[in-house]
Amino acid sequence: MIEQLQWRLIALLLLVTACGGAKRPHEPDAKGELLYSASFSSPQDVAGWQMEGPGELMFEDGWMTMYAKDQAWHHVFWCPQMFLSRFVAEWEVQNKHPEEGLLIVFFATTGLNGEDIFDSSLPARDGTFRHYTRENLKSYHVSYYANNPKNPDREFAHLRKNNMFALVQTGEEGVPKASEAVHKIRLVKDDEHIVFFVDDRKIIDWRDDGETYGQVYGAGRIGFRQMQWSRFSYRNFNVWALAPHEKK
């Protein structure tokens, strides 16, 4: 009897080890090669980034704060590097104007025919939402802070697929409306599988079937968008490849 129990215990331990050995794509140790890193602590950290719209930047105490002077208009800030279809991106945010605002991250962003978004053949963009969601670009985007004075009752995160502006998943609240704390963001794109976390709290988990809303989007650019009322600080933006063996 004792010998049987010992073998059962060994079998159970082997099963637990086997299940734990294959890390899921959203787990921190699923990260592979570091592809890009910017602390956002100084202007040198955003060399090559491109602002669209009247967004302005201020660097202080290791943070980059983005805003529009006099809340003039919406704005998008684009990373200079292209990323492949499988990555983990992390950054931190802190709200400096909790009264109102809205944050979005665009990713896998290209022109409709796969062009780089800065291709000279594409029309100019100025932060106006339809330029990114209904016209000449395709992407996914997550809105992870929603305190829009024009829609004060909204509390949920949205994942959309553009340029059809399709709402493909509604998640729970991302960054809480009134929070002035530092929040850690993690975005995982594992080809068709998109997972999004705020402080290790999963708010989006969706697989693109490649049919309902057209083909799965692959490589593209990452950009941070703020509505005109927003004033958020950012730091420690890092992007890793997903470890090859993590693909499901």
Which of 56, 52, 87 lies closest to 70, judged by CA? 56
Cβ atoms of 88 and 240 closer than 8 Å? yes
- CA dist 168 and 208 (Å) reads 9
pLDDT score for 155: 74
3-state secondary structure of 21: helix
Distance of CA 97 to the CA centre of its chain: 21
Based on its alpha-carbon atoms, the radius of gyration of the chain, rounded to whole angstroms, reads 20
**pLDDT tens, residue order, the chain (248 aa):** 444 434 343 333 333 333 344 455 555 558 999 999 999 999 999 999 999 999 999 999 999 999 999 999 999 999 999 999 999 999 999 999 999 999 999 999 999 999 999 999 999 999 999 999 999 999 999 999 999 888 887 879 999 999 999 999 999 999 999 999 999 999 999 999 999 999 999 999 999 999 999 999 999 999 999 999 999 999 999 999 998 864 44
Sign of CA dihedral 236, 195, 109, 140: negative
Name the strand (E) or helix (H) holding 19: helix 2-21
Residue 115 CB partners (closer than 8 Å, separation 6+): 121, 122
pLDDT score for 153: 79
Q: Where are the domains of the chain?
A: 31-243
Cβ atoms of 79 and 222 closer than 8 Å? yes
Paired with 189 in beta bridges are: 87, 194
pLDDT score for 26: 53
pLDDT score for 30: 85
pLDDT score for 10: 35
- CA dist 212 and 82 (Å) reads 26
pLDDT score for 149: 86
- CA dist 139 and 133 (Å) reads 8
pLDDT score for 245: 60
| Main-chain dihedrals φ then ψ at residue 106, nearest 5 degrees | -90, 145
- CA dist 97 and 67 (Å) reads 10
DSSP state, 83?
Answer: B
Topology classification of domain 31-243: Jelly Rolls (2.60.120)
DSSP state, 208?
Answer: -
Which of 41, 44, 39, 73 lies closest to 56, judged by CA? 73
